[in-house]
Amino acid sequence: MAGVDGSYDCTVKSPLGDQNLKLTVTSNGDAFTGQASGAMGASDVSGKVDGNTLSWKQQMTSPMPMTLDITATVDGDSISGNVGAGAFGSFPLTGTRTA
């Protein structure tokens, strides 16, 4: 298991309030697959691994269709980063590994 692999309970500080999500990550070399799930649904995710940094794009459909550009760094059992939401700006993401 790579250092980034696991399940994380995350919070994104957005203009709509705190958005909680569960992120699972399974890496394979310089790529990863997983799932992000929260109050607005679940979606499969995949992206790049660079050391202990993950980056991926995620489609959002509610409250409006949008592509999120996410970068997060794993440090021990913590994860932190930013969620880019186009013209709406960038919002901090933080979380803790649960498994």
Domain map (residue ranges) of the chain: 6-97
pLDDT computed for residue 1 by the predictor: 42
Given a cut of 60, is residue 99 above it in pLDDT? yes
40 forms beta bridges with: none
Q: Which helix (H) or strand (E) holds 44?
A: strand 41-50
Express each pLDDT in 30-82 by its tens digit: 999 999 998 777 889 999 999 999 999 988 877 778 899 999 999 999 999 99
Q: For residues 53 and 88, which has the higher predicted lDDT (pLDDT)? A: 53
pLDDT computed for residue 2 by the predictor: 63
- CB neighbours of 74 closer than 8 A, spacing ≥ 6? 3, 4, 52, 53, 54, 97
With bands split at pLDDT 50, 70 and 90, how would you rate the model's confidence at 92? very high
Residue 11, phi then psi, degrees to nearest 5: -130, 130
Pick the CATH number of 6-97 from 3.10.270.10, 1.10.357.10, 2.40.37.10, 2.40.128.120: 2.40.128.120
**Cβ neighbours, 10 Å, residue 76:** 9
